[in-house]
């Protein structure tokens, strides 16, 4: 068993840290200053931060100044997501200091570009697979994006080294991850998989730790509303028994 990498999430909308329910605009809970949120997760011991520009993901604006400032100041490994769809946005993210960028919509709408940057940047590129059932969602989860497994096969052939797999129906719902989906994806690829959506309890973290192929997990709402502490989650990710922490 290897440690599970935890990536606490800071999702930014209109300059504020928020958490959405199933990615639906208007469902958000607001949690204040994004930099303060990131600093809180750093203080709790996280090495990685999952930083998302929701306005860029939805194509309705940009929080690039904020994400650039956080990436440059926070002293964490940053996985940056939201609106990275061309060379300019990719270069800006990497130049800002992001260790890794998460490409979602462009992997579906511009596959030739996506395959080129996978070849060029290697493990600094992760592909976000946002899933409803076995269908993919694009444009901030507002549009249909094709079949999950056909897309996965294509990206495997292009040499993708890491996928961020989000079950849209679980995201922000505090109902637990879609373990079946994650197991199916891991069986279909040799690439690393990061689980996203629905992580609610320390037991969820332990189950994800034990899935062969799942390298990490993104946790958002459960941390913000206090279902668990990041300190306890990191301990379980490193092998602790959840029952010993309750």
In a domain, 208, yes or no: yes
**Is 155's pLDDT higher than 90?**
yes
Higher pLDDT, 177 or 27: 177
Residue with tokens 């639906």: 24
Residue 168 located in a structural domain = yes
Catalytic residue among 11, 53, 171, 204: 11
pTM of the shown model: 0.93
Q: Which of 55, 95, 123, 130 is catalytic?
A: 130
**Domain range enclosing 38:** 5-240
Distance CA 180, CA 57 (A): 26
Task: Return d(Cα 15, Cα 208) in angstroms, integer.
Answer: 31
What angle separates helix 87-95 from helix 64-73, to the nearest 10 degrees?
A: 30
Residue carrying the six token digits 């040799």: 190
Is 11 part of the annotated catalytic residue set?
A: yes
Q: Is residue 125 part of a domain?
A: yes
Mean of the per-residue pLDDT values for the chain?
A: 91
pLDDT, tens digit, 9 for 90 and up, residues 9-29: 999 999 999 988 666 666 678
What tens digit of pLDDT does each residue of 45-68 get?
999 999 999 999 888 899 999 999
What pLDDT band is residue 241 in, cutting at 50, 70 and 90?
A: very high
**What is the C-alpha separation between 81 and 4, in angstroms, rounded?**
20
Q: Is the pLDDT of residue 106 over 50?
A: yes
Judged against a pLDDT cut of 70, whether residue 142 lies above it is answered with no
Residue 119 lies in a domain: yes
Based on the structure, what is the number of domains in the chain? 1
Known catalytic residue at 171: no
> 74 in a domain, yes or no?
yes
Residue 173's pLDDT is: 57
- The Cα diameter of the chain in Å comes to 49
- With 70 as the cut, is the pLDDT of residue 232 above it? yes
CATH of the domain at 29: 3.20.20.70
Is 245 within a domain? no
């Amino acid at each position: 068993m290897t440690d599970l990498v935890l990536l606490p999430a800071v999702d930014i909308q209109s300059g504020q840290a928020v958490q959405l329910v199933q990615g639906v605009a208007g469902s958000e809970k607001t949690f204040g200053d994004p930099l303060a949120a990131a600093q809180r997760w750093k203080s709790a011991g996280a090495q990685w931060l999952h930083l998302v520009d929701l306005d860029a993901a939805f194509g309705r604006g940009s929080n690039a100044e904020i994400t650039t400032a956080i990436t440059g100041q926070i002293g964490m490994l940053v996985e940056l997501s939201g609106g990275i769809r061309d060379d300019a946005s990719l270069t800006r993210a990497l130049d800002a200091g992001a260790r890794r960028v998460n490409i979602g919509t462009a992997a579906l709408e511009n596959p030739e570009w996506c395959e080129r940057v996978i070849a060029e940047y290697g493990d600094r590129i992760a592909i976000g697979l946002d899933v409803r059932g076995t269908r993919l969602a694009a444009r901030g989860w507002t549009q249909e994006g094709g079949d999950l497994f056909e897309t996965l096969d294509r990206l495997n052939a292009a040499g993708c080294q890491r996928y961020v797999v989000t079950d849209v129906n679980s995201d922000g719902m505090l109902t637990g991850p879609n373990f079946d989906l994650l197991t199916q994806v891991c069986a279909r690829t040799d690439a690393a998989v990061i689980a996203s959506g629905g992580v609610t309890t320390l037991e969820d973290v332990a189950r994800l730790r034990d899935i062969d192929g799942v390298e990490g997990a993104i946790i958002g709402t459960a941390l913000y509303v206090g279902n668990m502490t990041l300190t306890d989650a990191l301990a379980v990710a490193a092998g602790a028994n959840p029952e010993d922490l309750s």
